């Protein structure tokens, strides 16, 4: 028990120190709320406390969003012909990271607190624990024209977003999908290539008073 607590503290210290790669603990795949109850509780909220997400919660959240759930590398959210073109980035108080789903780890993009940039025209994301950003790589997308690729990106992102909403409903977390983003500045912080397009974000945190 003591060593478990120690490992958790070391993990959190690593995140606050913005290490280049942070290996996440294994996601908790048992427990949680029955699906029908989570669906009944799914909703958008915009009132967050400033409490950060523990590493275990972050791990389970990212896995639920778009982690690998089968031996062949397929993931919790489907993509057309399994092109896996959409990835999750996460903006934490310590920095902006890419979720490496194969290693189940966070890879640092840019250190520092970028929640002001994430908030853009809305105040509440400034104090929320985490914002997940869904980024589609057009170079990986199945589908010919740019219009078709963008259509696939919206569908793939929608599936990931709903996974996040249901996880939050199950865990008693607050979350809100957010389309209002400063995409050019965010692309710099996340170090995106020309092919990578930011589709949507979802801000996640604890309810006020918790």
Ligand X SMILES: Cc1cc2nc3c(=O)[nH]c(=O)nc-3n(C[C@H](O)[C@H](O)[C@H](O)COP(=O)(O)O)c2cc1C
Note the residues at the interface with ligand X (CB under 6 A).
43-44, 46, 122, 176-180, 200
- 């290996």: which residue's tokens? 23
Query: CB of residue 162 vs ligand X: minimum separation in angstroms?
Result: 9
Q: C-beta of 195: minimal distance to ligand X in Å?
A: 22
Question: Looking up tokens 């990931």, which residue turns up?
Answer: 160
* Closest CB to ligand X among residues 114, 178: 178
Closer to ligand X by CB, 60 or 203: give it.
Answer: 203
Sheet holding 86-92, edge to edge: 21-23, 105-111, 95-100, 86-92, 130-137, 196-205, 174-178
- For the bound state, the minimum distance from the C-beta of residue 88 to ligand X, rounded and expressed in Å, comes to 16
Q: Is 127 exposed, middle or buried (0-12, 13-18, 19+ CB in 10 A)?
A: middle
**Least spacing, CB of residue 29 vs ligand X, in Å:** 25
Exposure string over 33-71, b if 16+ CB within 10 A, otherwise e: beeeebeeeeeebeebeeebbebebbbbbbbbbbbeeee
CB of 72 to ligand X, least distance (A): 30
Between 185 and 191, CB nearer to ligand X = 185
Residue 160 C-beta: closest distance to ligand X, Å: 12
Closer by beta carbon to ligand X, 43 or else 185: 43
Residue nearest to ligand X (CB): 44
Instruction: Burial-class residue 24 by CB neighbours within 10 Å (0-12, 13-18, 19+).
Output: buried
Q: Which is nearer to ligand X, 72 or 179 (CB)?
A: 179
**Nearer Cβ to ligand X (122/127):** 122
């Amino acid at each position: 028990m003591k060593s478990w607590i120690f490992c958790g503290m070391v993990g959190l210290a690593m995140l606050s120190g913005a290490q280049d790669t942070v290996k996440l603990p294994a996601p908790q795949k048992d427990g949680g709320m029955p699906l029908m109850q989570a669906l009944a509780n799914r909703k958008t909220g915009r009132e967050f406390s400033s409490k950060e997400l523990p590493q275990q919660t972050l791990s389970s959240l990212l896995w639920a969003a778009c982690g690998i759930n089968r031996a062949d590398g397929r993931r919790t959210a489907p993509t057309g012909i399994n092109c896996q073109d959409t990835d999750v980035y996460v903006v934490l108080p310590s920095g902006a990271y890419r979720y490496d789903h194969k290693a189940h780890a966070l890879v640092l993009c840019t250190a520092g607190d970028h929640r002001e940039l994430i908030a853009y025209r809305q105040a509440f994301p400034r104090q929320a624990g985490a914002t997940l950003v869904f980024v589609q790589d057009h170079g990986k997308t199945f589908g010919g024209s740019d219009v078709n690729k963008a259509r696939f990106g919206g569908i793939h992102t929608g599936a990931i977003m709903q996974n996040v909403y249901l996880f939050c409903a199950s865990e008693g977390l607050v979350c809100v999908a957010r389309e209002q983003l400063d995409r050019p500045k965010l692309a710099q912080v996340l170090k995106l290539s020309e092919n990578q397009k930011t589709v949507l974000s979802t801000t996640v945190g604890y309810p006020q008073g918790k």
